[in-house]
């Protein structure tokens, strides 16, 4: 299967290991992965701050970069959500429509397209807390939202992680509260943002988590910033890094 890899700007710049893990994981599962070199960003940083107009050229650039692929896969629920939800403001050509339909968050691609239920060989002997990143959760519906009623299966990320050898997934007191990152919110409302992050981490600490994982590195960047400043006994890792481990 031929797929294009989209590595969002902040992962590219600050967390290249997450990009490498995603690439390796897809290749390990037999995909022919192309990483289009001209790629930059989905435009979300501008648009969420109210500057959608400044994001438009980035949208067009994204469309141009990824127009030739059956699937565009990214280890970021937030950026995928942005492409799917907010690219409605540009001309809805066939290409744009196809891109919006086929830009998938990594776990969606693994489960819905590849039909994978477990990563053979993955092993991660740690107590892991899953932070349910909001845009993936309530935007892409990657997992159950605590507000909704009726039967909702566990998230694909949870199901895939569960199959990793020797992992222990920890149940948190609040299953899907926001970490407080929120893009420019992290800076414009820094006090509330840090308080939210610290409260989330307190939940992980209370429940004996060693590693906090998520579908969005942006949440983890914010949480890691607090962890390091306060010297909490916690680490962060994108779930792609966990799935891409070996050892069995």
Please give the residues from 33 up to 72 whose contact with other proteins meets the rule CB under 8 A: 35, 37-41, 43, 45-58, 60-61
Would you say how long the chain is, in residues?
A: 248
**Which C-beta is closer to other proteins: that of 5 or that of 167?**
5
Q: Of 1, 12, 67, 127, which one interacts with other proteins (CB under 8 A)?
A: 12
Binding mask 147-186 for other proteins (x = CB under 8 A): xxxx-----------------------x-xxx-xxxxxxx
**Which C-beta is closer to other proteins: that of 30 or that of 231?**
231
**Which C-beta is closer to other proteins: that of 58 or that of 167?**
58
**Of 108-116, 146-154, 163-171, 207-215, which part binds other proteins (CB under 8 A)?**
146-154
226 binds other proteins, rule: CB under 8 A: yes
245 binds other proteins, rule: CB under 8 A: no
Considering only residues 92-111, where is the footprint of other proteins by CB under 8 A?
none
Q: Name the phi and psi angles at 174, rounded to 5.
A: -115, 115
Which tokens belong to 143? 């997992």
The dihedral sign for the CA sequence 110, 115, 119, 120:
negative
**Of 12-20, 24-32, 153-161, 237-245, which part binds other proteins (CB under 8 A)?**
12-20
221 binds other proteins, rule: CB under 8 A: yes
**Which C-beta is closer to other proteins: that of 2 or that of 53?**
53
Q: Of 127, 199, 205, 232, which one interacts with other proteins (CB under 8 A)?
A: 199
Short-list 160, 157, 104, 131, CA closest to 219:
131
């Amino acid at each position: 299967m031929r797929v294009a890899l989209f590595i969002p700007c902040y992962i590219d710049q600050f967390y290249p290991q997450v990009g490498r893990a995603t690439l390796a994981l897809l290749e390990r599962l037999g995909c022919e992965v192309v990483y289009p070199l001209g790629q930059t960003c989905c435009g979300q940083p501008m648009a969420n701050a109210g500057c959608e107009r400044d994001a438009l050229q980035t949208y067009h650039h994204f469309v141009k970069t990824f127009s030739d692929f059956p699937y565009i896969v990214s280890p970021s629920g937030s950026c995928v959500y942005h492409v799917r939800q907010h690219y409605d403001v540009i001309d809805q050509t066939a290409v744009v429509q196809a891109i919006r339909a086929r830009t998938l968050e990594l776990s969606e691609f693994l489960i819905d397209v590849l039909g994978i239920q477990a990563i053979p060989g993955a092993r991660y002997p740690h107590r892991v807390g899953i932070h349910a990143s909001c845009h993936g959760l309530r935007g892409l519906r990657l997992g159950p939202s605590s507000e909704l009623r009726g039967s909702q299966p566990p998230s694909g990320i949870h199901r895939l992680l569960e199959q990793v050898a020797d992992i222990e997934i920890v149940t948190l007191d609040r299953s899907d509260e926001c970490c407080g990152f929120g893009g420019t919110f992290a800076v414009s409302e820094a006090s509330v943002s840090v308080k939210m992050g610290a409260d989330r981490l307190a939940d992980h600490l209370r429940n004996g988590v060693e590693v906090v994982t998520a579908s969005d590195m942006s949440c983890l960047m914010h949480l890691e910033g607090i962890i390091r400043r306060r010297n909490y006994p916690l680490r962060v890792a994108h779930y792609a890094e966990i799935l891409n481990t070996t050892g069995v």
